[in-house]
Structure 1
Amino acid sequence: MASAIQKIALNASRDIPFNRLVLSQSNVRRAKSGLSIEELARDIERRGLLQSLNVRPVLNGEGAETGSYEVPAGGRRFRALELLVKQKKLAKTAPVPCVVREAGSSILAEDDSLAENVQRVALHPLDQFRAFRDMLEKGMSEEEIAAAFFVVPTVVKQRLRLMIVSDKLLEIYEQDGMKLDQLMAFSISDDHTRQEQVWEIIAQSHNREPYLIRRMLTEKTVRASDRRVRFVGLEAYLAAGGPVMRDLFEADDGGWLQDPTLLDRLVMEKLASAAEDIRAEGWKWVETALSFPWGHTRDFMEIEGTPVALSDEEATRLTALHSEQETIEAQYALADEFPEDIDIRLGEIEQAIEALEERPVSFDPVNMARAGVFVSLDTDGTLLAERGFVRPEDMPLEPEDVASDGDAMDGIEGYDDRDEPEGMTSQEIEPEEEDGLKPLSDRLLTELTAWRTLALRDAFGANPHIALTELLHTLVRDLYWQVSGAGCLEAYVREIPLPVHSPDMPASPCAAPAQRGLEA
């Protein structure tokens, strides 16, 4: 005869007055984490108790029930209810739904407390995002959702932002094929096709860092910190209907402008307007560009201007600023660093002094009538006007020599062209070598050149900043302007020996650092 399958019996559930409940010392939760008791109390006040308490009878010394119950599982909910009672928002005898474990159970109270906290699974972030979206679609505002879950509205905006990611990528994230920070990086763009293209590319690479995802999604955009944006202003771009891509999860310095063509048009329009104002000063021509190539003024002659003198008011203010600066520096001369407010004030003083000392320049109207101005953007996004350049065809003619070489010699006392040898002009007569120093030998010139080269190497080694600057200049010149070999420095990894040198050179102080570097 087959035995009957034993069925489990669930613990009874009933309402128990709150004043008959006590917190059990068997509750395993000790450390504070997650939602605070105050926030949980406000949540219970708003929506009621969503989960029953797990309790068991309190026994006296003889093993009889006392009518009170201890709470080994649900301690945070008990404390929240206790806080509501203290705030007189809940009656002391209010019934509390409880699941009652029978007295003398073989299951320990610590077992129940641990199981309640371990056997639960945290909500997947994607389910939270979708829940926020559903709540928003059903009429709740972002602020109401944030208040209901005790978070700031920015958190809700961030969660809702993740829902603009492609469904395909959301599914990959749900199946743990993508990390949360990677999903957050994709939320910077709402172009699902591009999102999926980027994922297909990085999925085949070992580098799947969020910064790379952001870079690939914004490669055809312009940063809001770009000099063109600073020049025209982000507000002007937005007013013209330009879209902006924002990142809600990281600092984006204003975001990315998605219409570079519109931005460039706004820049050129503002440059053209500035050029007309400058042309009205009396210049012959004005050229505008986002930026001019290096050396664009090389073939032009530059006219000189006169700095505008300081007015009496400006001179008085400049003196006062210098005096204040000297007083502050003397007051804190022995301090390791300036206090924050003093440091800010010194910065303001330096800016004011610089603005006063950088004087505008006035030009002669006659010179302005044949000169022009290059108008472009400076590196910091401000207007750059290079005034006073004259084109080659507008340069004044140099006075020509009227007299010939021969005629020029007629005024020299004692000169007679009959003294020149027959058939030779004065230019063809080689002057006799004067008595004095004799030319240096080739050997000596080579040794002196070796000494000079070694001295330059030693100077470079003693001044890393100068060496780095010259190296950078050489690399830019060779790679960008393609004029290799136009200077004294050649940048590549190679040892250049000095085959010809004087016998005492290897032991000289200049050669010692180089020799130590080779041995190292």
Structure 2
Amino acid sequence: MTKVAQKVTLSPSRDIPFDKLVLSQFNVRRIKAGVSVEELAEDIARRGLLQGLNVRAVVDADGVETGTFEIPAGGRRFQALSLLVKQKRLAKTAPIPCIVRDAASEILAEDDSLAENMQRVALHPLDQFRAFQALREKGQGEEAIAAAFFVTSQIVKQRLKLASVAPALLEVYAEDGMTLEQLMAFTVNPDHARQVQVWDAVKNSWNKEPYAIRRMLTETSVRASDRRAVFVGIDAYEAAGGVVLRDLFQGDDGGWLEVPALLDRLVTEKLQADAEALASEGWKWIEVATDLPYGYSHGLRRLAGDPAPMTDEESAAHAKLLAEYRALEVEYSGQDEYPDEIDARLGELEMAMEALEQRPLIYDPAEVVRAGVFVTLDRDGSLAVYRGYVRPEDEPREETAVQDGENADGRVQGIDVGGSGRQSSETSVGGTVITSGGQPIGAEPSDEEDDGALKPLPERLVMELTAHRTLALREAIGRSPEVALTLLLLKLVTDTFRTSSASGSCLEASVRHVYMSAQAPDLKDSVVAKLVDERHAAWEADLPLGDDAALWDYLTVLDQGSRLALLAHCLSFGVNALHEKVNPYGAGITASGLTRRMSHADLVARAVDLDMVEAGWEPTVDGYLNRVPKARILEAVREAKGEGTAQLLDHLKKVEMATEAERLLKGSGWLPEVLRRADLVAFDDATATEGQGASVQDAAELVAEMPDNGETIDLPAFLMADMPVHGVPMMAAE
């Protein structure tokens, strides 16, 4: 028997005057959520009521309709309409579209209210993104869209940015194949092909976090905070056609510059322009470099200049500032601390006086014509100019050189006595040769024509012949240890003492100078730095560095002990025990490489019995304590002086704690883990046991020297709580 389908009857709709409507007590929405009533009212005023109200007739006790209607579903819309009526923007008798439910219906009012709120499906974010995009394509601006939907223009920009991701990735997001945070990460780079490439690389990976996606999309770009970008300026970079990648969803520190080659060209051009401006000062040479390595001035003599005198106006201004500074010091000398505004004013006066006292140096014009300048970038992206360096070949020649056969034109038997090998360039400005990387800027390669007298051997033949000679030399060196040691020394001495100029050698062995890119300010003044410099200077004074043949003869006649000492000195410049940031993408050092480096460093440290305490390192405020958290400071004091002393510092502020810890740790021999020998224990058990509790006298002295911050310490109780009883702390014994 066929079942007859039940027919559906819909409730009728009609317009009901606003003043005939009242809120129902059966509306299930009691908690405010979502768009505010005020915003909904503005939206209704702009576009009208998009959805009618669900109402039921109000009946009296006898079941007779009273002429009013209650609203179980649509209460927020009614409240928004009420606000418009209150603002006199809508008439009290304005007809309101309503769906009228039969009062005798079996469906409860609460049922209607619950269904209307639960049966709605929220719009998928991607549909919202695309809707915003469609509105913009039809002529609406971002501000207009934001105003229409009561959001900020930044949110509209973000939604539009999300809609511009590669269509293939939007489909993945629509199918819940990636999170919204991952989709946001892809907006940092507008290249759809690159976006898809990155997703293919990470979608099956264990690491597909948003930060990893951003990193891959920007790995070939340059941060806007990079000193090169700061030096050139983002506006100049964009004016030259550069593109800046931006992240609208999180702080991007100014974004990323997508064309590093363009940025480097702009940096070079700006540095060259600055160098040409300096040429008017009369320098012999100007070396331009984006980066100057540590030791760039090694082997060069620095000119001693005199500070330029102050003008009368500057002297008067400095005197006025100094008078005010001293007057404030005298006025507030009796107070423990300066008031904040006075302290700030003293700081301003100090900066102003320092600016006047930092005078440019004036050099001897006779020295300027043989000296040069380094032009580079400072770490903060500003221009850095280092004036007054004289190369060895530019030093004044002795008069005896003429007696040894020097011609009037400054050449000996056709050889340039300067020894620099540099030639005048057409790019020189006012007699100043401007170079970059040792080559004249803009100089064209020389095109020397063959005189036709005798053509050189074919290059292939020369390679074959020298291969025979190379193999023969290898065999001969292999059975001549003394010659091998001399050859190695010759190469290492050249690498160590001729760092300012490149030189070839028949030996593919070298010492690569390892420069400390991260170093404490006091490293150059440390005990070990002075020892290295003194040893280097002593060898440099003895070695005949100007001629390889003379250097060979010198090394040959050295006694074995001196040869080994020189070998050790040269090799020391290649020691690299530096911790570096691991780069898993190939550039720099890998995690396994860093582990191997540190392991080798431990082997060498044990072999030379290295002791960083004897080397002069101590935990100072600036060098260590102020750069670690308070827990680390307390740990250091605890290891060196015991738990009791550490607890005495626990209540101090960071600055006070670091200062007091420096005093306590001085002479203790304490070292952080990274400076300790792996084969040694920093403190033996006996020392640790002795340091577990602070003596009453030491603790009293420590408390007396602490800053008074209003806190009190019960010294006897404190010490007793930490005093060991037969090797066991009191609390544990109890």
- Shorter-chain TM-score: what band? 0.7 to 0.9
Query: Tell me, what secondary structure is at the counterpart of 2:249?
Result: coil
Classify the secondary structure of the residue corresponding to 1:313: helix
Equivalent residue number for residue 55 of structure 2: 55
Unpaired stretches in structure 1, ≥5 consecutive residues = 401-449, 470-488, 499-504, 515-520
- Tell me by how many angstroms 1:461 deviates: 6.5
* Deviation per residue, 1:119-145 (Å, 9 max, x gap): 211111110111111122222222222
Q: Please show how residues 64-213 of structure 1 align to structure 2 within 5 Å.
A: 64-213=64-213
When residues 220 and 52 of structure 1 are mapped into structure 2, their CA distance, relative to the original with a 3 A threshold, is same
Superposition deviation, residue 364 in structure 1? 0.9
Q: CA deviation at 1:465?
A: 5.6
Q: Relative to structure 1, is the Cα distance of residues 335 and 67 closer, same or farther in structure 2, using a 3 angstrom cutoff?
A: farther
Tell whether the 8 Å contact from 2:332 to 2:338 is kept in structure 1 after alignment.
no
- Cα deviation, residue 389, structure 1: 0.8
Deviation at 1:330, TM superposition (A): 5.0
Give, in whole Å, the separation in 1 of the partners of 2:16 and 2:318. 82
User: What residue identity is the alignment partner of 1:380?
Assistant: D
Between the aligned partners of 2:56 and 2:10, the Cα distance in structure 1 is: 14
Structure 2 length-normalised TM: 0.54
Query: Partner letter of residue 13 of structure 2?
Result: S
| 1:118-517 matched pairs, under 5 angstroms | 118-321=118-321, 327=328, 338=340, 351-396=351-396, 456=614, 460=617, 462-463=619-620, 466=623, 494-496=678-680
Alignment partners' CA distance in 2, 1:3 and 1:490: 85
Decide whether the 8 Å contact of 1:227 with 1:381 is kept in 2. yes
1:410-434, Cα deviation, whole Å (9 max, x unpaired): xxxxxxxxxxxxxxxxxxxxxxxxx
Q: Which moved more, 1:60-69 or 1:188-197?
A: 60-69
Post-superposition CA distance 1:252-306 (Å, at most 9, x none): 2332211111111111111111112222112111110101221011111111011
Higher relative contact order (CA 8 A, sep 6+): 1
**Distance (whole Å) between structure 1 residues aligned to residue 391 and residue 312 of structure 2:** 38
Q: In the TM superposition, what is the alpha-carbon distance from 1:114 to its structure 2 partner?
A: 2.0
Gap change, CA 1:224 and 1:506, over 3 Å in 2:
closer
CA contact (8 A) 1:272 1:288 kept: yes
Letter in 2 for 1:386: Y
The alignment of Structure 1 onto Structure 2 pairs a total of residues equal to 439
Deviation by residue 1:373-414 (Cα, 9 ceiling, x = unmatched): 1111111111111111110112246899xxxxxxxxxxxxxx
Code of the residue aligned with 1:102 in structure 2: it is D
Measure the CA separation in 1 of the matches of 2:89 and 2:681.
Answer: 91
Query: Which residue of 1 is the match for residue 28 of structure 2?
Result: 28
Which amino acid in the other structure matches residue 679 of structure 2?
A: E
Residues 325-365 of structure 1 deviation map (CA, whole Å, 9 limit, x = unaligned): 674995997789958xx898777555434422322111111
Q: Give the superposition deviation at 1:28.
A: 2.2
Task: Describe the SS at the equivalent of 1:99.
Answer: strand
Query: Shift of the alpha carbon at 1:312?
Result: 3.6
Give CA deviations for 1:448-506 in whole Å, capped at 9, x if unaligned.
xx99959649x85754864699xxxxxxxxxxxxxxxxxxx9957612379xxxxxx97
Q: Alignment partner of 2:290: what SS?
A: coil
Q: 1:507 to 1:6 in 2, by over 3 A?
A: closer
Say whether the 8 Å CA contact 1:285–1:372 is kept in structure 2.
yes
Which TM-score applies when normalising by structure 1?
A: 0.75
SS of 1:29's partner is coil
Unaligned runs of at least 5 residues, structure 2:
401-607, 627-672, 693-734
Contact 1:243 1:257 in 2 (8 A): yes
**Cα distance in 2 for residues equivalent to 1:331 and 1:8:** 94
Which whole-Å deviations, capped at 9, do the CAs of 1:192-239 have from their partners, x for residues lacking one?
111011111221222222222111111111112111111122221122
Aligned partners of 1:454 and 1:511 also within 8 Å: no
Residue 309 of structure 1 aligns to a residue whose secondary structure is coil
**Contact 2:619–2:625 (Cα < 8 Å) also in 1:** no
Further displaced range: 137-146 or 183-192: 137-146
Greater shift after overlay, 250-259 or 385-394?
250-259
Return the offset for 1:90.
1.6
Flag the 1:174–1:17 CA change in 2: closer, same or farther, 3 A: same
2: CA distance between counterparts of 1:64 and 1:385?
96
Return the alpha-carbon distance in structure 2 between the equivalents of residues 25 and 349 of structure 1. Answer: 71
Amino acid at match of 1:91: A
Q: 1:372 to 1:41 in 2, by over 3 A?
A: same
Rounded Cα–Cα distance in structure 1 between residues aligned with 2:344 and 2:72: 58
What secondary structure sits across from 1:107 in the alignment?
Answer: coil
Distance 1:452 1:151, change over 3 A: closer
Cα drift, residue 4 of structure 1: 2.3
Counterparts of 2:356 and 2:271 in 1: how far apart (Å)?
26
- What amino acid is the match of 2:252? D
Q: What's the counterpart of residue 39 of structure 1?
A: 39
Give the corresponding residue for 1:417: none
Distance in 2, Cα, partners of 1:231 & 1:99:
68
Indicate if the aligned counterparts of 1:460 and 1:466 stay in contact, CA closer than 8 A.
Answer: no
Task: Give CA-to-partner distance per residue, 1:153-206, whole Å, 9 cap, x none.
Answer: 222222111122111100010011111121111111111111011111221222
Please give the alpha-carbon distance, in whole angstroms, between the structure 1 residues aligned to 2:293 and 2:344.
Answer: 37
> Secondary structure in 2 aligned to 1:280?
helix
Counterpart residue identity of residue 111, structure 2: D
Alpha-carbon offset, residue 107 of structure 1: 2.9
Q: Counterpart of 1:233 in structure 2: which amino acid?
A: G
SS of residue in 1 equivalent to 2:185: helix
Secondary structure at the residue paired with 1:384?
strand
Q: How far off its partner does 1:10 sit?
A: 2.1
> What is the one-letter code of the residue matched to 1:390?
V
Computing the radius of gyration from Cα coordinates, the structure with the larger value is 1
Worse-matched range after superposition: 10-19 or 375-384: 10-19
Cα distance between partner residues in 2 of 1:151 and 1:78? 23
When residues 22 and 325 of structure 1 are mapped into structure 2, their CA distance, relative to the original with a 3 A threshold, is farther
Distance 1:335 1:86 in 2: 60
Taking a change above 3 Å as real, the CA distance of residues 229 and 3 of structure 1, as seen in their structure-2 partners, is closer
* Amino acid in structure 2 at the alignment position of 1:495: D
Q: Take 1:394 and 1:298, find their aligned partners in 2: how far apart are those partners?
A: 15
Matching residue's letter, 1:211: Y
**Aligned letter for 2:180?**
L
State the Cα RMSD in Å.
3.7
Of all paired residues, the percent bearing the same amino acid is 55
Tell me: CA distance 1:332–1:318, structure 2 relative to 1, closer, same or farther (3 Å).
farther
- Amino acid aligned to 1:88: K
| One-letter amino acid of the counterpart of residue 27, structure 2 | N
Query: Is the contact between residue 52 and residue 99 of structure 2 (CA under 8 Å) also seen in structure 1?
Result: yes
CA distance in 1, matches of 2:293, 2:389: 15
Q: 1:279 to 1:33 in 2, by over 3 A?
A: same
